[in-house]
Structure 1
Amino acid sequence: MNVRRIGGAAAAAATGVVALSASAAATPPEGDVVRTDLAKGDTTSAVSITTPGGQPTTLLVQELLMRPGSSSGWHTHPGPEYSVITDGTVQLQTGADCTVVPYGAGQSVFIPAGLAHRVANGAPHDAGVVATYTVPAGAPVRGDSPDVCAK
Protein backbone atom coordinates (compact mmCIF):
# COMPACT_ATOMS: atom_id res chain seq x y z
CA MET A 1 0.00 0.00 0.00
CA ASN A 2 1.38 3.39 -1.00
CA VAL A 3 0.54 6.22 1.42
CA ARG A 4 1.48 9.74 0.47
CA ARG A 5 1.63 12.44 3.10
CA ILE A 6 1.05 16.07 2.28
CA GLY A 7 3.19 18.63 4.04
CA GLY A 8 1.73 21.37 6.28
CA ALA A 9 1.33 24.15 3.64
CA ALA A 10 -0.05 21.80 1.01
CA ALA A 11 -2.46 20.25 3.50
CA ALA A 12 -3.67 23.69 4.58
CA ALA A 13 -4.18 24.75 0.96
CA ALA A 14 -6.08 21.53 0.15
CA THR A 15 -8.28 22.00 3.22
CA GLY A 16 -8.96 25.60 2.18
CA VAL A 17 -10.04 24.49 -1.31
CA VAL A 18 -12.43 21.92 0.16
CA ALA A 19 -13.82 24.50 2.59
CA LEU A 20 -14.30 27.06 -0.20
CA SER A 21 -16.03 24.48 -2.38
CA ALA A 22 -18.42 23.52 0.39
CA SER A 23 -19.26 27.11 1.30
CA ALA A 24 -19.72 28.11 -2.35
CA ALA A 25 -22.22 25.29 -2.83
CA ALA A 26 -24.57 26.35 -0.01
CA THR A 27 -25.12 29.52 1.96
CA PRO A 28 -27.34 29.89 5.01
CA PRO A 29 -30.07 32.55 5.10
CA GLU A 30 -29.15 35.90 6.60
CA GLY A 31 -31.22 38.55 8.34
CA ASP A 32 -34.93 38.49 9.01
CA VAL A 33 -36.65 36.60 6.17
CA VAL A 34 -40.20 35.31 6.54
CA ARG A 35 -41.75 33.02 3.93
CA THR A 36 -45.51 32.61 3.68
CA ASP A 37 -46.98 29.91 1.49
CA LEU A 38 -50.03 31.44 -0.19
CA ALA A 39 -51.22 28.21 -1.76
CA LYS A 40 -50.13 24.66 -2.35
CA GLY A 41 -52.06 22.22 -4.52
CA ASP A 42 -51.56 18.95 -6.29
CA THR A 43 -52.33 18.18 -9.93
CA THR A 44 -51.82 15.38 -12.38
CA SER A 45 -51.70 17.85 -15.31
CA ALA A 46 -48.40 18.59 -16.99
CA VAL A 47 -47.16 22.02 -15.91
CA SER A 48 -45.27 24.26 -18.32
CA ILE A 49 -45.07 28.00 -18.90
CA THR A 50 -43.99 29.10 -22.36
CA THR A 51 -43.92 32.73 -23.43
CA PRO A 52 -42.94 34.26 -26.77
CA GLY A 53 -39.19 34.87 -26.76
CA GLY A 54 -38.11 38.48 -26.49
CA GLN A 55 -41.57 39.79 -25.58
CA PRO A 56 -42.33 41.16 -22.10
CA THR A 57 -44.56 38.99 -19.94
CA THR A 58 -46.58 39.81 -16.84
CA LEU A 59 -46.88 37.31 -14.02
CA LEU A 60 -49.87 38.14 -11.81
CA VAL A 61 -50.89 36.34 -8.61
CA GLN A 62 -54.35 37.05 -7.17
CA GLU A 63 -56.20 35.81 -4.13
CA LEU A 64 -59.91 35.33 -4.82
CA LEU A 65 -62.61 35.10 -2.17
CA MET A 66 -65.74 33.56 -3.65
CA ARG A 67 -68.87 34.06 -1.57
CA PRO A 68 -71.68 31.46 -1.66
CA GLY A 69 -73.57 31.64 -4.95
CA SER A 70 -70.88 33.68 -6.72
CA SER A 71 -69.55 33.01 -10.21
CA SER A 72 -66.72 34.35 -12.34
CA GLY A 73 -68.97 34.40 -15.41
CA TRP A 74 -67.70 32.99 -18.69
CA HIS A 75 -64.30 34.39 -19.61
CA THR A 76 -60.88 33.68 -21.12
CA HIS A 77 -57.29 34.70 -20.41
CA PRO A 78 -54.62 35.55 -23.02
CA GLY A 79 -52.15 33.31 -21.19
CA PRO A 80 -52.26 30.20 -19.00
CA GLU A 81 -53.85 30.21 -15.55
CA TYR A 82 -52.63 28.04 -12.67
CA SER A 83 -54.92 28.11 -9.64
CA VAL A 84 -54.92 26.45 -6.24
CA ILE A 85 -58.11 26.09 -4.23
CA THR A 86 -57.18 27.15 -0.71
CA ASP A 87 -60.55 26.87 1.04
CA GLY A 88 -63.94 25.35 0.33
CA THR A 89 -65.02 23.94 -3.03
CA VAL A 90 -65.49 25.51 -6.45
CA GLN A 91 -67.02 24.15 -9.63
CA LEU A 92 -65.11 24.62 -12.87
CA GLN A 93 -66.81 24.39 -16.25
CA THR A 94 -64.81 24.76 -19.46
CA GLY A 95 -65.86 25.16 -23.05
CA ALA A 96 -63.77 22.09 -23.89
CA ASP A 97 -66.49 19.65 -22.79
CA CYS A 98 -68.97 21.67 -20.64
CA THR A 99 -68.70 19.19 -17.75
CA VAL A 100 -68.90 20.79 -14.29
CA VAL A 101 -65.97 19.53 -12.21
CA PRO A 102 -65.66 20.23 -8.46
CA TYR A 103 -62.27 21.13 -6.99
CA GLY A 104 -61.60 21.29 -3.25
CA ALA A 105 -58.99 22.78 -0.96
CA GLY A 106 -55.51 21.50 -1.80
CA GLN A 107 -56.24 20.83 -5.45
CA SER A 108 -54.85 22.83 -8.35
CA VAL A 109 -56.25 23.64 -11.76
CA PHE A 110 -54.58 24.45 -15.07
CA ILE A 111 -56.50 26.42 -17.69
CA PRO A 112 -54.80 26.96 -21.06
CA ALA A 113 -54.73 30.37 -22.73
CA GLY A 114 -57.90 31.19 -24.63
CA LEU A 115 -60.07 28.43 -23.14
CA ALA A 116 -63.49 29.77 -22.17
CA HIS A 117 -64.36 28.80 -18.62
CA ARG A 118 -66.51 29.62 -15.60
CA VAL A 119 -65.80 29.11 -11.88
CA ALA A 120 -68.64 29.08 -9.37
CA ASN A 121 -69.18 28.58 -5.66
CA GLY A 122 -72.43 26.68 -5.16
CA ALA A 123 -71.63 25.82 -1.55
CA PRO A 124 -73.15 27.56 1.49
CA HIS A 125 -69.70 28.77 2.62
CA ASP A 126 -66.86 30.90 1.20
CA ALA A 127 -64.28 29.42 -1.14
CA GLY A 128 -60.71 30.66 -1.59
CA VAL A 129 -58.54 30.48 -4.69
CA VAL A 130 -55.03 31.73 -5.43
CA ALA A 131 -54.70 32.24 -9.18
CA THR A 132 -51.49 32.81 -11.12
CA TYR A 133 -51.73 34.27 -14.61
CA THR A 134 -48.96 34.57 -17.19
CA VAL A 135 -50.04 37.09 -19.85
CA PRO A 136 -48.40 39.34 -22.44
CA ALA A 137 -47.31 42.59 -20.76
CA GLY A 138 -49.97 45.27 -21.10
CA ALA A 139 -52.72 42.80 -22.06
CA PRO A 140 -55.89 42.60 -19.98
CA VAL A 141 -55.81 39.56 -17.70
CA ARG A 142 -59.41 38.65 -18.48
CA GLY A 143 -61.84 38.94 -21.36
CA ASP A 144 -65.57 38.20 -21.15
CA SER A 145 -66.83 35.26 -23.19
CA PRO A 146 -70.29 34.04 -24.17
CA ASP A 147 -71.64 30.93 -22.42
CA VAL A 148 -70.33 28.35 -24.85
CA CYS A 149 -72.21 25.57 -23.04
CA ALA A 150 -75.68 27.16 -23.22
CA LYS A 151 -78.16 24.81 -24.79
Structure 2
Amino acid sequence: MRIRHRVLLALTAACGLAVTPTVASATPSTGVHGEILGQVTFGDKDYVLRKITVDPGGSTGWHFHDGVLYAAVAGGTLSHYRSDCSVDGIYQTGNTLIEPSGSDHVHIGNNSQTTPLVLLVVYVNPTGSPLSEDAAAPNCQLPG
Protein backbone atom coordinates (compact mmCIF):
# COMPACT_ATOMS: atom_id res chain seq x y z
CA MET A 1 0.00 0.00 0.00
CA ARG A 2 2.83 2.39 0.82
CA ILE A 3 4.48 1.75 -2.57
CA ARG A 4 1.18 2.38 -4.37
CA HIS A 5 0.89 5.69 -2.51
CA ARG A 6 4.39 6.66 -3.69
CA VAL A 7 3.57 5.73 -7.29
CA LEU A 8 0.38 7.80 -7.21
CA LEU A 9 2.20 10.71 -5.59
CA ALA A 10 4.92 10.63 -8.27
CA LEU A 11 2.31 10.40 -11.04
CA THR A 12 0.38 13.32 -9.59
CA ALA A 13 3.50 15.47 -9.20
CA ALA A 14 4.65 14.81 -12.75
CA CYS A 15 1.26 15.36 -14.42
CA GLY A 16 1.50 19.14 -14.29
CA LEU A 17 4.77 19.28 -16.24
CA ALA A 18 5.51 19.99 -19.91
CA VAL A 19 4.43 17.58 -22.66
CA THR A 20 7.11 16.32 -25.05
CA PRO A 21 6.59 13.41 -27.52
CA THR A 22 9.27 10.74 -27.90
CA VAL A 23 9.72 7.24 -29.29
CA ALA A 24 10.54 4.26 -27.07
CA SER A 25 14.26 3.59 -27.15
CA ALA A 26 14.54 -0.10 -26.26
CA THR A 27 15.65 -2.23 -29.24
CA PRO A 28 14.38 -4.25 -30.92
CA SER A 29 10.98 -2.99 -29.89
CA THR A 30 7.97 -3.38 -32.16
CA GLY A 31 4.77 -1.36 -32.07
CA VAL A 32 5.84 0.74 -29.07
CA HIS A 33 5.02 4.46 -28.87
CA GLY A 34 6.04 6.70 -25.98
CA GLU A 35 5.10 10.21 -24.94
CA ILE A 36 6.75 12.08 -22.06
CA LEU A 37 4.01 13.79 -20.07
CA GLY A 38 6.30 15.46 -17.56
CA GLN A 39 9.85 15.56 -16.28
CA VAL A 40 11.51 17.14 -13.27
CA THR A 41 14.89 16.81 -11.55
CA PHE A 42 15.29 16.86 -7.76
CA GLY A 43 18.83 16.53 -6.45
CA ASP A 44 20.53 13.70 -8.32
CA LYS A 45 17.30 12.08 -9.61
CA ASP A 46 15.24 12.59 -12.76
CA TYR A 47 11.51 11.87 -12.38
CA VAL A 48 9.88 11.22 -15.74
CA LEU A 49 6.18 10.52 -16.32
CA ARG A 50 5.60 8.73 -19.60
CA LYS A 51 2.64 7.23 -21.41
CA ILE A 52 3.61 4.12 -23.35
CA THR A 53 1.32 2.44 -25.87
CA VAL A 54 2.13 -1.03 -27.20
CA ASP A 55 0.21 -2.12 -30.29
CA PRO A 56 -1.41 -5.58 -30.39
CA GLY A 57 1.40 -8.09 -30.94
CA GLY A 58 4.01 -5.46 -29.95
CA SER A 59 6.98 -5.82 -27.65
CA THR A 60 9.33 -3.55 -25.70
CA GLY A 61 12.40 -5.56 -26.68
CA TRP A 62 14.87 -6.85 -24.09
CA HIS A 63 16.10 -4.02 -21.87
CA PHE A 64 16.84 -2.84 -18.34
CA HIS A 65 16.68 0.47 -16.47
CA ASP A 66 19.35 2.47 -14.61
CA GLY A 67 16.71 3.58 -12.10
CA VAL A 68 13.50 2.19 -10.64
CA LEU A 69 10.36 2.21 -12.79
CA TYR A 70 6.80 2.39 -11.38
CA ALA A 71 3.98 1.57 -13.79
CA ALA A 72 0.20 1.42 -13.86
CA VAL A 73 -1.69 -0.42 -16.59
CA ALA A 74 -4.21 2.11 -17.91
CA GLY A 75 -5.59 -0.23 -20.58
CA GLY A 76 -5.00 -3.71 -21.96
CA THR A 77 -2.80 -6.51 -20.65
CA LEU A 78 0.99 -6.60 -20.18
CA SER A 79 2.84 -9.92 -20.24
CA HIS A 80 6.17 -9.36 -18.45
CA TYR A 81 9.13 -11.77 -18.67
CA ARG A 82 12.45 -12.15 -16.82
CA SER A 83 15.77 -12.79 -18.58
CA ASP A 84 15.29 -16.57 -18.16
CA CYS A 85 12.05 -16.20 -20.22
CA SER A 86 9.85 -17.06 -17.23
CA VAL A 87 6.69 -15.02 -16.74
CA ASP A 88 7.03 -12.69 -13.78
CA GLY A 89 3.59 -11.18 -14.21
CA ILE A 90 0.48 -10.76 -16.31
CA TYR A 91 -0.81 -7.26 -15.54
CA GLN A 92 -4.27 -6.11 -16.51
CA THR A 93 -6.00 -2.72 -16.46
CA GLY A 94 -5.74 -1.25 -12.97
CA ASN A 95 -2.68 -3.32 -11.94
CA THR A 96 0.61 -1.73 -10.93
CA LEU A 97 4.16 -3.02 -11.14
CA ILE A 98 7.69 -2.04 -10.18
CA GLU A 99 10.78 -2.77 -12.27
CA PRO A 100 14.01 -2.68 -10.25
CA SER A 101 17.15 -1.04 -11.59
CA GLY A 102 20.28 -2.60 -13.00
CA SER A 103 21.60 -4.85 -15.73
CA ASP A 104 20.80 -7.88 -13.56
CA HIS A 105 17.08 -7.11 -14.14
CA VAL A 106 16.81 -7.55 -17.92
CA HIS A 107 13.20 -8.03 -19.00
CA ILE A 108 10.74 -7.71 -21.87
CA GLY A 109 7.08 -6.69 -22.01
CA ASN A 110 4.65 -7.98 -24.63
CA ASN A 111 1.11 -7.24 -25.71
CA SER A 112 -0.34 -10.53 -26.95
CA GLN A 113 -3.89 -9.17 -26.96
CA THR A 114 -5.98 -7.67 -29.78
CA THR A 115 -6.29 -4.23 -28.14
CA PRO A 116 -3.56 -1.66 -27.41
CA LEU A 117 -1.71 -1.81 -24.10
CA VAL A 118 -1.41 1.55 -22.34
CA LEU A 119 1.00 2.11 -19.45
CA LEU A 120 1.54 5.18 -17.29
CA VAL A 121 5.12 4.98 -16.09
CA VAL A 122 7.21 6.96 -13.61
CA TYR A 123 10.97 6.56 -14.04
CA VAL A 124 13.17 7.48 -11.07
CA ASN A 125 16.61 7.61 -12.68
CA PRO A 126 20.03 8.93 -11.84
CA THR A 127 20.19 12.41 -13.43
CA GLY A 128 20.90 12.23 -17.16
CA SER A 129 20.32 8.47 -17.51
CA PRO A 130 18.43 7.08 -20.50
CA LEU A 131 14.93 5.74 -19.90
CA SER A 132 16.09 2.25 -20.85
CA GLU A 133 19.23 0.38 -21.87
CA ASP A 134 19.16 -2.18 -24.68
CA ALA A 135 20.04 -5.74 -23.74
CA ALA A 136 20.89 -8.78 -25.83
CA ALA A 137 18.17 -11.39 -26.14
CA PRO A 138 18.79 -14.14 -23.59
CA ASN A 139 19.43 -17.72 -24.62
CA CYS A 140 15.87 -18.93 -23.94
CA GLN A 141 12.46 -19.12 -25.62
CA LEU A 142 9.47 -17.05 -24.50
CA PRO A 143 6.37 -19.16 -23.80
CA GLY A 144 3.52 -19.13 -26.26
Matched residue, 2:79: 91
| Structure 1 counterpart SS, 2:46 | strand
Deviations, residues 15-34 of structure 1 (Å, cap 9, x unaligned)? xxxxxxxxxxxxxxxxxxxx
| Larger gyration radius, structure 1 or structure 2 | 1
Alignment of 1:120-139 (within 5 A): 120-139=110-129
Query: Structure 2 CA distance, aligned partners of 1:149 and 1:109?
Result: 25
State the AA in 2 paired with 1:99. S
Aligned residues: 99
- Aligned equivalents of 2:117, 2:136: Cα separation in 1: 24
Offset at 1:148?
2.4
> Please, what TM-score do these two structures have when normalized by structure 2?
0.63
Aligned counterparts, 1:65-144, within 5 A: 65-95=53-83, 97-100=84-87, 101-114=89-102, 115-144=105-134
1:58 aligned to 2:58? Answer: no
Instruction: Measure, in 1, the Cα distance between the counterparts of 2:139 and 2:65.
Output: 18
Q: Does the 8 Å CA contact 1:55/1:136 hold for their aligned counterparts? A: no
**Sequence identity of aligned pairs in percent?**
25
Superposed CA RMSD: 2.0
| Structure 2: tracts of 5 or more residues without a match | 1-11, 16-41
Answering whether residue 119 of structure 2 is matched by residue 147 of structure 1, we say no
Q: AA paired with 1:104?
A: Q
Give the TM-score of the pair, scaled to structure 1: 0.60
| Partner-residue secondary structure (3-state), 2:57 | coil
- Pairwise CA distance, 1:150: 2.0
> Runs ≥4 in structure 1, deviation > 6 angstroms?
none
Query: Shift in Å at residue 99 of structure 1?
Result: 1.8
- Given that 1:56 and 1:136 are in contact with CA atoms closer than 8 Å, whether structure 2 keeps it comes out as yes
Q: Residue 149 and residue 107 in structure 1: after superposition, are their counterparts in 2 closer, same or farther (change >3 A)?
A: farther
Q: Is residue 82–residue 106 contact of structure 2 (8 Å, CA) maintained in 1?
A: yes
Alpha-carbon distance change, 58 to 106 in structure 1, aligned in 2, over 3 angstroms: same
**CA separation in 2, counterparts of 1:69 and 1:89?**
11
